[in-house]
Structure formats: C-alpha cells, structure tokens
Structure 1
Amino acid sequence: MFRVVCLVAILAVATNAYRRVCYHSNWSQYRQNPAKFLPENIDASLCTHVIYAFATLNGNHLKAFEWNDESTAWSKGMYERFNAMKSTNPSVKTSLAVGGWNMGSAPFTRIAASDASRTDFANDAVKFLRSHNFDGLDFDWEYPANRGSPPQDKQNFVLLVKKTREVFDAEAQSSGKPRLILSAATGAGKSKIETAYDFPQLVK
C-alpha cells in the first residue's frame, strides 16, 4: 500500500505551512496482487509532497535504479508516470530519493569527500531532476559516520547538503524556475542522531 511515513526533513522552503510527506517505493510494482502498487494508484490529494524511492549513484551522478524508471522510445517510464499525478493535483510537489538501506554508505562517502565531487554531484542532480520533472531531491544516506562510513562523514554530509543547496539556489536564480526542494530522511535513534548528524548546521 502507499503509505504516509514520518520524515525528519530539511525542507528548503520558506514557508512554515503544514506538510504531509509521503513515499512511493519503486519495488512495489513487483508485489503480488492485491498488494501490487503503481504510480497510477497514488491518490495525489492525500499528500503535499510525494517522494519516489529510490535512485542510486553512478560515481558522482544520480542514476535510475529500476529498469523501467526512465522512459524510452517504446515505453513510458515510472518517473514519467509518477510525475503525471501533477495533472490531477498541480500543487503536489515530487522529489526523487537517492540512497536507501541497500545502497549503504560507500557511494555517499565518495561524493561527499571533496568539494569537486560534491559540486559535480549537485550540478548533475539539477540536470537529472529537471529532465525527469521532479521538484526536488531527498537524501537517504543510511547513515553518515555509520555502517562503514568514517567519522568525518558527519561533517562531510553537512558540506554535501550545503553545496547542493547552493547549486539549487543558483540554478533557480539563473533559470527563473522554482528552486528545487532539498530534504533528507534521517535516522531517528539517539545513537544515530548523535553520531551521524550535525543538525544545527544542517538546518541552516
């Protein structure tokens, strides 16, 4: 079933309006009926923001995970089908989540390690998100400075978020388009919060 989940998010928006943030998992297409769930089954009136999970990484760049995420000359992809919900609810915002438990920390550690790789990631992310009609990006790094991720990744994650936000800001200013949303799904356990996240810096 499509589910509403709790999300600790760093939403890069100016308003304090109420948000109901929902996730759609791209593997729900493989469930047996009646649990099989497709983008067309989403009730776009239920949520203010809907996040498509998950994309993966190829080096510093976003990459579709499922074979049918992207459209081809002969088929409409899941991204396109997912974003079609805007035709029934023009106010809904869609984001693409990158990461997840199965991807682990190593790909994020690599892109967060230097300013050059962080900049390359952010610049490519803008192109990828715009080309697929998403309104934002959701980081799902499970977890900085954990699961093989070195201690310095706690601050490197701050730098990655900061650089991505700067690039999103600059692109919106130059293109005249609404700024891409930036959010993060984070761990909720005390040990993860203390070791993985510098929240005072992240929320800036």
Structure 2
Amino acid sequence: MLLKLIVLLFAYVSLDSASAATDKVFCYYETWNEGIFGPDDIDVNICTHINYAFMGINEDGSLRLDGSDSMLKSLSGLKSKNPDLKLILSVGGWNEGSTPFSNVAADAEKKANMADSTLWYLQTYNFDGLDIDWEYPGQRGGTPADQENFIDMLWVLRGKFNDNGGYLLTTAVSNDPDAGAYNIGAISE
C-alpha cells in the first residue's frame, strides 16, 4: 500500500512539474479507438490539444476521413467542457506511408487542394489546426525532392491558414537521422 502511495505521489509530482515546464499537453485520439474509448472518456483538463489521428490523403491532395463524421462532431463537443481546448486533425501516420505525401508535395495543384480541403474540415468541425505526420520524406516510396517539397507544402498550408483566421500547423518529425530528410530549421519557420 505504501509503495502504491509513493508511486502515485511521484506520478503526481512528475505530472505537476511537467505541466509547470510547459503549458501544452498533446493527446492523440486514434481512429481505431472508436467504440472502445470515446471522446467523453478524455479528461479535457489534462490535454491542452487533442490530435485526431489519422486523416488520409486522396490522390488529388484532398484529405480523407478514415474515421467517422460523428467522431469529429463528438470531439468538437469537448470544447463545451473546456473552451481553451485545441483540436487538431493529424494527417498521415505510418499506415498512410510516404507516397501520398510525396505526390501531393510535388504538385502545386494538389497542395492547393490539400489546403482547401483542410480548411473545409477545420471550419466544418470547429477544429483549430492540422498536424502533418509524414513518415518519412525521401523514404518508403518518396523521392529525394521530398525535403524541399515538404517545406513548400507547409508554406502553402501556412498561407491558407493565415488568410483564414490563423489556424495551427504542427508536424511530427523523427529524431532518427535515418528516418527521413527533415530540414528542421526550415520547418520551424
């Protein structure tokens, strides 16, 4: 019993210290959890941001909803419990692969379609931004041009978001130098 109390106390102190160090806690809600763990099970006082993982990418660059419309609506409803909560669509992930991103990032029309489609989802479901989880530029069906094309794709999205209310734009990158060609300095801009 004492050991459990010590572990719980340590977890509480660790969580408290972590939240003092940063004001952002990103939580992922995966599409494959639908029916197992619902949005109402999420403690919206712990998560400052919830990433809905994952949206897919159609051949024309538009986003593809791999989950359900009702799930996006349910997640959006969490803002009534915590108005400061930020909801983010996360596109990609391991299962999406690199090829769809590579094809979109290399084509101006497809990048514009992606930006327009993303904006539609954000506005329709009251989400606050987009997270790009491209695993990995230049690999898994990608091309050597992916690194620069990725930066351009981010600029197209940023421009669309800035012109329409300043939506959030995040990306998940690997710290493994063999996992892709990320230009972290350019991404940060």
* Unpaired stretches in structure 2, ≥5 consecutive residues: 1-21
2:105 aligned residue (104, 107, 112): 112
Task: Report 1:26-175 matches (<5 A).
Answer: 26-29=31-34, 36-59=36-59, 60-66=61-67, 69-70=68-69, 77-172=70-165
CA contact (8 A) 2:62 2:110 kept: no
| Cα distance in 2, alignment partners of residues 47 and 19 from structure 1 | 8
Higher helix share: 2
SS at match of 2:148: helix
Q: In the alignment, does 2:188 pair up with 1:203?
A: yes
| Cα distance in 2, alignment partners of residues 144 and 190 from structure 1 | 12
Q: In the alignment, does 2:11 pair up with 1:24?
A: no
* Unpaired stretches in structure 1, ≥5 consecutive residues: 1-16, 31-35, 71-76, 173-178
Share of identical aligned residues, percent?
35
Please report the TM-score for the alignment, with normalisation by the length of structure 1.
0.78
| Cα distance in 2, alignment partners of residues 86 and 18 from structure 1 | 17
Deviation at 1:198, TM superposition (A): 0.6
CA contact (8 A) 2:88 2:130 kept: yes
Q: 1:98-143 CA distances to partner (integer Å, 9 max, x unpaired)?
A: 1111110111111101222212211221112211111111111111
Please report the TM-score for the alignment, with normalisation by the length of structure 2.
0.84
Q: 1:76-105 CA distances to partner (integer Å, 9 max, x unpaired)?
A: x00011111111100010001011111101
| Cα distance in 2, alignment partners of residues 79 and 202 from structure 1 | 27
CA contact (8 A) 2:27 2:51 kept: yes
| Cα distance in 1, alignment partners of residues 122 and 34 from structure 2 | 22
Letter in 1 for 2:152: L
Letter in 2 for 1:160: M
| Cα distance in 2, alignment partners of residues 106 and 54 from structure 1 | 16
| Cα distance in 2, alignment partners of residues 145 and 64 from structure 1 | 25
Q: 1:11-44 CA distances to partner (integer Å, 9 max, x unpaired)?
A: xxxxxx62111111110135xxxxx211111110
SS at match of 2:178: helix
**Structure 1 segments (4+ residues) deviating >3 Å:** none
Letter in 2 for 1:99: G
Name the larger-Rg structure.
Answer: 2
SS at match of 2:78: helix
**What number of residue pairs does the alignment pair up?**
167
